[in-house]
Structure 1
């Protein structure tokens, strides 16, 4: 059995709207051409690295990318030719939809074959626990968690900072996911990026004490993982390997994996 990369963003022009391309280019001096991937090259690199499967995360963000929920359906449709190599984690933006619209898009993405849902608080400008009365009572967010729990799908929550210009990093504190863990005890919650760089200890402690909270290690340079999480072995069964390819600093699917496999942790932990 090969390796699994639990966190990538495979951008292809076919799933991007003109508005999304315009915004990305405005942010980073024509960055779209540098971020776009060739699927043939990706599959070849996966084969060379013995990466059996990648989880491709696609989510809407009107503030960041000018994208809506339809981008998830376009991604599922485009990547469906690789069902044994690539899955799609989707999402809906609860603070821009009515309760009826939220349910509609969850059903549409589920029927299309989504493998989970992503909440990106700094890009969506929403706290993961804002469904609670004392946090604003955003019913749409509660609907997302209930749907995922009822359909046995994981929720991935971005934690930690984001370097993009319109990101609101105050929403990146993983402590807000603690309420979600308590209120939805059967929901699997994955804290993407483990709160790096400033909330790693919070993410680590939550994974230790909450049975349904997990960490993904994506975007942390593999050679620095033990600097960030020195007690990684204690929660080895609660961690997922991921690269965050093709984000800044990620050298490649293969190179990132090879660096991870070289760090000083037990073979049991790596497995």
Structure 2
């Protein structure tokens, strides 16, 4: 990965389909998400197809799935498959893992192995889908390992399209995705680099408060078209958080083409734009000129 040649780093994309056609969510929850994003009928890309898509645009992309086996009873896409697919396209893809926090110390051992043996560069959590508050002590052995190995943890925050419109929300509890619950994690693991994913509706002010108060907490802008960003998010991105806000699309539900087109119309200072699109992610991931990180040696 030649970072200097990249125009942007998308820190939030989903590997939704495995090589054998298995999806990371049940048909009911996946269908609700497609309906929410008005993405019905869109073909879900494979990891090689994602690589080709981003390579064509001279972008890099962080790729992950969600391990929520305990809460959903649905088998995850293998972290090893994500890592291997990204390793084959290391010029453009950055692999993140996902370990169900209900797995406790077994999950912690898995996380260490994924980083040390498979080049995983961070971990994705979706508290609402995984059915656990981020500050539940069951997850703490997992966070301990992630902090120790020095890779980021990305937490879904706010509303989710998963389960939207399904009776009972498909069992998805929105309260677990309040960013104030992640504030406890930032206190208890002060060296852990944390990303709060999405404009955190209805808790946008809470997310801004946590990110301004805790030095290692970032915000990604995925899951929303920039034309719908709350004004306070734009204001903070231009000022207090200009070094801690990250470009993310939520591909394939939202394409980077659509996101970037709307971002061009947003009132963002010219000197802040490159920070959001690439520079902040380069610093967060510790990437050098050719995309390696000191902690993992690259994927």
Q: TM-score range by the shorter chain?
A: 0.7 to 0.9
Equivalence map 1:259-270=2 (5 Å): 259-270=262-273
Partner of 1:204: 208
Equivalence map 1:229-268=2 (5 Å): 229-231=233-235, 232-234=237-239, 235-247=241-253, 250=254, 252-268=255-271
SS in 2 for 1:59: coil
Cα deviations by residue, 1:185-217 (Å, 9 ceiling, x for unpaired) = 11101001131x201111011111111111001
Distance 1:71 1:47 in 2: 23
Q: Higher RCO, 1 or 2 (CA under 8 Å, sep at least 6)?
A: 2
Distance 1:175 1:21 in 2: 27
Pick closer, same or farther for the CA change 1:123–1:192 going to 2, 3 Å.
same
Equivalent position to 2:57, from 30, 33, 49 = 49
SS in 1 for 2:161: coil
Partner of 2:101: 94
SS in 2 for 1:56: strand
SS in 2 for 1:236: coil
**Aligned residues of 2:12 and 2:62 also touching (Cα < 8 A):** yes
Cα deviations by residue, 1:110-136 (Å, 9 ceiling, x for unpaired) = 1211110112100001111111xxxxx
**Which structure 1 segments of 5+ residues have no match?**
132-137
Equivalent position to 2:185, from 180, 192, 196 = 180
**Aligned residues of 1:194 and 1:204 also touching (Cα < 8 A):** no
1:229: Cα distance to partner? 1.2
Distance 2:247 2:158 in 1: 17
Equivalent position to 2:143, from 142, 145, 149 = 145
1:102: Cα distance to partner? 1.9
1:226: Cα distance to partner? 5.0
Partner of 2:284: none
Matching of residue 66 in structure 1 with residue 71 in structure 2 = no
Distance 1:255 1:214 in 2: 23
**Which structure 2 segments of 5+ residues have no match?**
35-39, 164-169, 275-299
1:21: Cα distance to partner? 7.0
Cα deviations by residue, 1:209-233 (Å, 9 ceiling, x for unpaired) = 1111110010121122253614221
Partner of 1:122: 128
Distance 1:93 1:26 in 2: 17
**Aligned residues of 2:64 and 2:82 also touching (Cα < 8 A):** no
**Aligned residues of 1:57 and 1:90 also touching (Cα < 8 A):** yes
Distance 2:124 2:97 in 1: 6
Distance 1:226 1:269 in 2: 18
Given the two structures, how large is their TM-score scaled by the length of structure 2? 0.76
Partner of 1:106: 111
Equivalent position to 2:153, from 123, 141, 155 = 155
SS in 2 for 1:109: helix
Pick closer, same or farther for the CA change 1:56–1:181 going to 2, 3 Å.
same
1:59: Cα distance to partner? 2.3
Pick closer, same or farther for the CA change 1:177–1:15 going to 2, 3 Å.
farther
Given the two structures, how large is their TM-score scaled by the length of structure 1? 0.84
SS in 2 for 1:214: strand
